[in-house]
Homo-oligomer: A and B are copies of this chain.
Amino acid sequence: MMLINGHALDKVDALDRGLHYGDGLFETLAVRAGQPLLWRRHRQRLAEGCARLGLPPPDDSLLDKEAAQVCAGVTQGVLKIVLTRGVGGRGYRAPAAVHPTRIVARYPWPDYSSESATRGIVMRVCATRMAQNPALAGMKHLNRLEQVLARNEWDDPGITEGIMLDNEGWVISGTMSNLFLVKAGALLTPDVTQCGVAGVMRGLILDIAARLDITARIGEITLNDVLEADEVFVCNSLIGLWPVRQLAERHYVRGPLRTRLAAEVTGYTV
């Protein structure tokens, strides 16, 4: 099911700036028992992205209503919201009057292997780099060719996710997830002010860590830091927290901190 500007449609104008320039934002949420999870946090990030791109933000009550409509009766699924600068003339300049395109769509729950959350995943290191651009960093915008190229580097079903580095070689994230290391009981996650996405689940984990007095540091991380970590896990709003059991030749033992945090996040639904 899909609503486009409130109407049950499945097509958008071929002149939409989302298509021509990636001029817009998106959010992807887990849906359980008819409710989009971490809705408040996702809505907040969408609003922040709108402010940064100069996009008129959607009306909150309208978005609430449309999300509820699309999620009604869904036991487990995915909600995706796409917001673009709407139809514009040819050329990069935004039209004087912007009429955003708002897509609120439901997708089936992905066929994730149940082993990913329990036994953990195998990761690789991607060759495709993320470019540093503070003007775009952190946002969940529609310019995602780097992730597309990185994800299409491998075909091996035994490898679930790939680590992406920036052009200076710093570790930033997975192709579709944020990354955390555990070292001597402390959490460490890459800075995303130069590139990468400030994931909602990443934000929740950092908030939980603060509440539980778990030391958490945001900073520059090398591939060597990842290889030498005690635990490594990836996260996003759909997968929650997946332990990494192998990266290249390094095998990790699952540790207690990921398990504790995974249990904690299930208590947060708004």
Copies of this chain, tallied across the complex:
2
Complex contact A146–B136 (CB within 8 A): yes
Q: Known contacts A133-B167, A145-B143: does B14 contact A92 (CB below 8 Å)? A: no
Q: How many residues of A are counted as interface, with CB atoms below 8 angstroms from the partner's CB atoms?
A: 60
Interface residues of A in 135-153 (CB under 8 A from B): 135-136, 141-152
Tell me, rounded to whole Å, the shortest Cβ–Cβ distance linking A193 to chain B. 13
**Chain B CB within 8 A of A90 CB:** yes
- In the bound complex, residues from chain B placing their C-beta under 8 Å from that of A80 are 90
**Residue pair A144, B20 in contact (C-beta under 8 Å):** yes
Enumerate chain B residues within 8 angstroms of A145, measured Cβ to Cβ.
Answer: 21-23, 53, 136, 141-143
Cα distance A190–B90 when bound, in Å? 25
A149 to B89, CA, bound (A): 16
Which interface residue of A131, A146, A152 has the most chain B CB atoms within 10 A? A131
Interface positions, chain A 26-62, Cβ under 8 Å from B, are 26, 28, 53-54
A interface, CB within 8 angstroms of B: 2, 4, 9-23, 26, 28, 53-54, 78, 80, 82, 84-85, 89-94, 103, 105, 107, 110, 128-133, 135-136, 141-152, 167, 175-176, 195
